[in-house]
Amino acid sequence: MKKLLSANYIRLMKSKSLWFYTAAMFGITIWYICIGADTMAIHPAEADAMDYTTFIVGMIPAFLTLFTGFFVGTEYSNKTIRNKLSVGHTRKEVYLSYLFTLYTAMGILFAAWLLGTISAFGVVGAELEGIRFLKIAIAAIFFSAAYAALLLMISITFQSKALAVILEIEFARVSLMIPLMGVVIIENMGMGTKLITFIINCFPMGQWMLSTRLLPVAPMPVSVQLLLSVLLIVSIVLVSIKILKEKELK
């Protein structure tokens, strides 16, 4: 397992795309919060700086969408996964090594958002509300982790790098559409309100959209959302390991 992680981390640290996305995450965070400061000066009642950093943290899953398919897909196309198995590593170990590597990439992007937020708040002179920011950060870690696990499941299911990337981009689009469609059903049909609200709170991007107040639906307590994310991650990991164990590698 250590050798697998070591090889993955060496490749991760050499990934130009990851460092490009990290720089972009840092720059976009500062830019968006600073732009938001101008809006707040004109319409102070509409939003505060915390709302802007909450919104921009949703870029972490977006960058992971672009990163995951290429990273794992290259392992398939180069026969690296087959080689790892041929030297005695189990499929479970191979999967977990990719999951931990992907979570490391997520952590790097999260650090870029964190530093960008702190820098931007210093520039615009906004107050960083400690407890509120901590809740935002913890929630972001968990819903991003659940989203990353879903992306990895797609990547290991399809050996074609191009197909995996296309499906993950489409998955990102659908992930945003599902909560919006749920709200439309609630508002126009008035049916399944509790069930749909629960589904939105379960879904990673639903949690993000609820935290940004983009949806007119009451979010569940953060502790409940975290528990739902953990349950989703565990379920996805178990299913993904089963998929990889039963998969015939070309």
76 and 38 Cβ atoms separated by less than 8 Å: no
At 42 the pLDDT is: 45
Please give the radius of gyration of the chain, using alpha carbons only, rounded to the nearest integer: 19
CB within 8 Å of 73: residues ≥ 6 apart = 155, 159, 160, 161, 162, 164, 165
Tens of pLDDT, residue by residue over 45-91, are 445 677 888 889 999 999 999 899 888 888 777 777 777 878 888 88
**Tokens 């590597």, located at residue:** 101
At 35 the pLDDT is: 81
| Closest CA relative to residue 53, chosen from 17, 15, 26 | 26
Question: How distant, in Å, are the alpha carbons of 70, 160, 194 from that of 177?
Answer: 24, 26, 19
CA angle, 249 as apex, 77 and 171 as ends, to 5°?
Answer: 65
Most confident stretch, 6-10, 37-41, 60-64: 60-64
**Tokens 């977990």, located at residue:** 96
At 182 the pLDDT is: 75
At 112 the pLDDT is: 96
Q: Which residue has the higher pLDDT, 44 or 146?
A: 146
Q: Which residue has the higher pLDDT, 169 or 191?
A: 169
At 43 the pLDDT is: 45
Question: How distant, in Å, are the alpha carbons of 6, 110, 157, 245 from that of 90?
Answer: 16, 30, 17, 9
CB within 8 Å of 114: residues ≥ 6 apart = 137
At 21 the pLDDT is: 95
| Nearest-angstrom CA–CA distance, 119 and 125 | 10
| Closest CA relative to residue 230, chosen from 206, 204, 212 | 204
Q: Which residue has the higher pLDDT, 191 or 227?
A: 227
Tens of pLDDT, residue by residue over 114-155, are 999 999 888 877 777 778 888 889 999 999 999 999 999 999
Work out the number of other CB atoms within 10 angstroms of the CB of residue 149. 22
At 96 the pLDDT is: 93
At 44 the pLDDT is: 47
pTM listed for this prediction: 0.88
Provide the residue ranges of all domains of the chain, joining segments of one domain with +: 2-246
Q: Of the given ranges (16-20, 92-96, 146-150, 160-164), which has the lowest mean pLDDT?
A: 160-164
Average pLDDT score over residue span 183-188: 72
Q: What tokens does 8 get?
A: 């993955």
Asked whether the predicted pLDDT for residue 170 surpasses 50, the reply is yes
| Closest CA relative to residue 213, chosen from 29, 43, 55 | 55
CA angle, 120 as apex, 210 and 51 as ends, to 5°?
Answer: 20
Measured in degrees and rounded to the nearest 5, phi and psi for residue 176 equal -80, -30
| Nearest-angstrom CA–CA distance, 36 and 26 | 16
Task: Name the CA dihedral angle for 24, 30, 31, 32, rounded to a multiple of 10 degrees.
Answer: 100
